[in-house]
Amino acid sequence: MKTATKVRSIASALVKNAGKRVRFASGKVAPFEQVKQHLKGRLAAGDWTPGALMPSEAELVAQFGVSRMTVNRALRELQLEGLIDRVQGVGTFAAQLNRVSSSLTIRDIHEEILARGHTHHATVHLVKDEVATATVAQRLGVIAGSRVFHTLIVHHENGVPLQCEDRYVNPECAPDYLSVDFTQVTPTHYLLDVAPLWEAHFSVEAGLPSAREAKLLGLKQTDPCLIVSRRTTNRGVPITQARLTHPAGRYQIEGAYKP
Amino acid sequence: MKTATKVRSIASALVKNAGKRVRFASGKVAPFEQVKQHLKGRLAAGDWTPGALMPSEAELVAQFGVSRMTVNRALRELQLEGLIDRVQGVGTFAAQLNRVSSSLTIRDIHEEILARGHTHHATVHLVKDEVATATVAQRLGVIAGSRVFHTLIVHHENGVPLQCEDRYVNPECAPDYLSVDFTQVTPTHYLLDVAPLWEAHFSVEAGLPSAREAKLLGLKQTDPCLIVSRRTTNRGVPITQARLTHPAGRYQIEGAYKP
DNA sequence: TGCATCAACTTGTCTAGACAAGTATAGTTC
DNA sequence: GAACTATACTTGTCTAGACAAGTTGATGCA
């Protein structure tokens, strides 16, 4: 029992598991799931106006004949989904607004291309130790004049340029960043290793490439691009800021929302 | 105790609650949270390579001296966050890939503009009962030749066109859709009322506007746009499909990721 | 009136044990 | 060797009860 790090061949198990999203598929539904679905249905039907007081855990226990832990789990998950608000000592309330929060997966470009069954290679166009200008310093979140690492890398899918990655890195967080071979490992992958716990803010917009980006991506400067800007921090300490430019038509972000 | 629908003034309670995100802030941390953070830290430190077998619940119970329910909650939440995979009958495994799933909120354009303190108005350019062409039918998910409702609305922020909303709606789900006054209520808001429980798939890309979109948004056809395509269904039944075109520079999607 | 106190109610969490269900392996039988 | 079986282990879930902590409203007192 001490072989905690033993790596089994679990591929088959995980594949089997993938098709098992709905447990108790054959009629049986777990009680906590029943409570959850019942409340979800009534919320959807408008039984409680936003902000209205909903039944307490004790009332639901009596109504469904299950234990409080079961009701509690149902309510906790509904709260996580943003459908209800709970206040200790007060009660449970229907959520104020129907906010729709979508889950969107941003993957390492290398893994993403490989997952499509295509080949990935990167060309490195700049690896430099710079002094931050005011603009760069503000975007990364360090003080102007600090040392920053700067890389400019183009990622290709099947030989076609797909992403121009213009990245600044805080030397404090990744002192050996400049010595990484970026044709072998992506900056994202390396930084995830060095500083694995981080928060990120990002924005997605359409725009035109800079002259250099256009040249590296094989575009005209009037060709539209999808531009993702991402800034990541670790407990408030800035790690990296990246501008990822993708030619329109070659790349799109996908996502899904499930209630 | 029977006044389940009584609406209390809970504004103050919810405001207080908002600042209470971290419970046990003063030193005390709930045991399940301790187990969670411990495993998170070791995962981040690379104690288990992706796919490696992690300690079983029983081992963690012995190690931390807590009950199995407590360990189970910690593991369940880690699974929800995508950090581990669990297979009944087999064990718990470190997740295969470090997917970074960002939470991205797509709000009703009306609410979004009002939240910025700006004025919103909509101009309606098309409200029509059509027969679905093959392309439209495929995008919406109905069979070609079906009746579909089609609206084309431009949303303005402070008088400037911000979004061209080209939408198809399944008449089965919203038979009265065409009689709605879209200068008063947005299609999103109306459809949320009619069919509140839905799943959505969306994609975000850069591209060029169609001739009509360019005209409605006051753009040249060579001006880049951010285009969001969204298709929503209710338990597999297609509700609506929308193409939301935003002029580059006037709109961006923002999001954040927290571990 | 104003203030302190207390009881009733709420949610938040933990426990120890139980049973169900899925998987893997060693052993047994054919 | 192949097929079956028993067993040990895993996760998934539920229960009944307990205590902590927060809120609310009534009560009593100055």
Q: What is the pLDDT along chain B (259 residues), one digit of tens a residue?
A: 333 333 333 333 333 333 333 333 334 778 898 999 899 888 877 788 888 899 999 999 999 999 999 999 999 998 887 788 899 889 999 876 555 556 666 667 887 777 676 778 899 998 989 898 888 888 888 888 889 999 999 999 878 898 999 999 999 888 889 988 998 888 988 887 777 666 788 888 899 999 999 999 999 999 999 999 888 888 778 899 999 999 988 888 877 776 5
Least confident of A98-102, A211-215, B34-38, B196-200: A98-102
Does the distance separating the beta carbons of A5 and B207 come in below 8 Å? no
- Enumerate long-range contacts of A193-198, CB under 8 Å, 24 or more apart: A193/B46, A195/A234, A195/A239, A196/B43, A196/B44, A196/B45, A196/B46, A196/B98, A197/A234, A197/A235, A197/B40, A197/B44, A197/B259, A198/A232, A198/A233, A198/A234, A198/A239, A198/B259
**8 Å CB contact between B227 and B204:** yes
User: What confidence score (pLDDT) does residue A2 get?
Assistant: 31
Task: Choose among A108, A112, A111, A110: nearest CA to A122.
Answer: A110
Q: Could you please report the per-residue DSSP string of A78-145? A: HHHTTSEEEETTTEEEE-SS---EEEEEE--HHHHHHHTT--EEEEEEEEEEEE--HHHHHHHTS-TT
The gap from C-alpha A69 to its chain's centroid, in whole angstroms, comes to 31
Q: How many residues does chain A have?
A: 259
CA distance B149 to chain A (A): 23
Residue A97 exposed, middle or buried by CB count within 10 Å (0-12, 13-18, 19+): exposed
Domain spanning B25-94, CATH class? mainly alpha
Q: A4 vs B59: CB contact, 8 Å cut-off? A: yes
C1' (C16) to CA (A67) span, angstroms:
15
Q: Which long-range contacts (CB under 8 A, 24 or more apart) does B156-161 make?
A: B156/B120, B156/B121, B156/B122, B156/B123, B157/B113, B157/B116, B157/B118, B157/B119, B157/B120, B158/B118, B158/B119, B159/B119, B159/B121, B160/B250, B161/B216, B161/B217, B161/B218, B161/B247
Decide if B4 and A55 are in contact by the 8 Å CB cutoff. yes
CB contact under 8 A, B40 and A197: yes
Instruction: Evaluate whether A243 touches A229 at the Cβ level (below 8 Å).
Output: yes
Instruction: Provide the pLDDT for residue B113.
Output: 77
Tokens of A217: 């991506």
Q: Which one has a higher pLDDT value, A126 or A193?
A: A126
Q: How far apart are CA A88 and CA A110, in angstroms?
A: 45
Question: With bands split at pLDDT 50, 70 and 90, how would you rate the model's confidence at A57?
Answer: very high
Strand C contacts (Cβ < 7 A) comprise A 12-13, 16-17, 28, 56-59, 68-69, 72, 75-76, 79, 86-92; B 1, 23, 30-33, 65-70, 73, 87-90
Nearest CA in chain B to A225: B206
Per-residue pLDDT tens digits for A134-153:
888 888 888 888 899 999 99
Q: Which chain A residues touch B200 with a CB distance below 8 Å?
A: 100, 102, 256-257
Per-residue confidence band for A251, with pLDDT thresholds at 50, 70 and 90: confident
Other C-beta atoms closer than 10 Å to the C-beta of B45 total 10
Domain range summary for chain A, segments of one domain joined by +: 25-94, 104-253
CA distance A46 to A63: 20
CATH of A104-253, one of 3.30.499.10, 3.90.1170.50, 3.40.1410.10, 3.90.850.10: 3.40.1410.10
Q: Do the Cβ atoms of A108 and B96 come within 8 Å?
A: no
Contact A4 B259 (CB under 8 A): no
- Rounded Cα distance between B245 and B211, Å, is 12
Q: What is the pLDDT of residue A105?
A: 63
A121 pLDDT exceeds 90?
Answer: no
Summarised one tens digit per residue, pLDDT across range B210-246 is 999 999 999 999 999 999 988 888 877 889 999 999 9
Q: Which among A98, A223, A94 is positioned nearest to A164, based on CA atoms?
A: A223
At A50, give phi and psi (nearest 5°).
Answer: -55, 130
Write the ipTM.
Answer: 0.62
Predicted confidence band of residue A69 (pLDDT cuts 50, 70, 90): very high
Please tell me which residue of chain A has the smallest CA distance to B203: A254
* A71 nearest nt, CA–C1': D14
- Identify from A1, A3, A5 which residue to disrupt to test chain B contact, counting B C-beta atoms within 10 A and taking the largest count: A5
What tokens appear for A45 in the block?
A: 């039907």
**Chain A residues within an 8 Å CB radius of B204:** 204, 226, 252-255
Contacts 24+ apart (CB under 8 A), B168-171: B168/B132, B168/B136, B168/B139, B168/B140, B168/B240, B168/B241, B168/B242, B169/B239, B169/B240, B170/B140, B170/B142, B170/B237, B170/B238, B170/B239, B170/B240, B171/B129, B171/B147
Q: Is the pLDDT of residue A181 over 50?
A: yes
Q: Is the CB of B52 under 7 A from strand D?
A: no
CATH topology match: B25-94 vs B109-247: no
Domain B109-247 adopts which CATH fold? Chorismate lyase (3.40.1410)
pLDDT-derived band at A154, boundaries 50, 70, 90: very high
Of the candidates B93, B98, B205, which has its C-beta nearest A248's C-beta? B205
Q: How close does chain B come to A146, measured CA to CA in Å?
A: 26
**Are B256 and A49 within 8 A, CB to CB?**
no
Residue at the smallest CA–C1' distance to nucleotide D10: B89
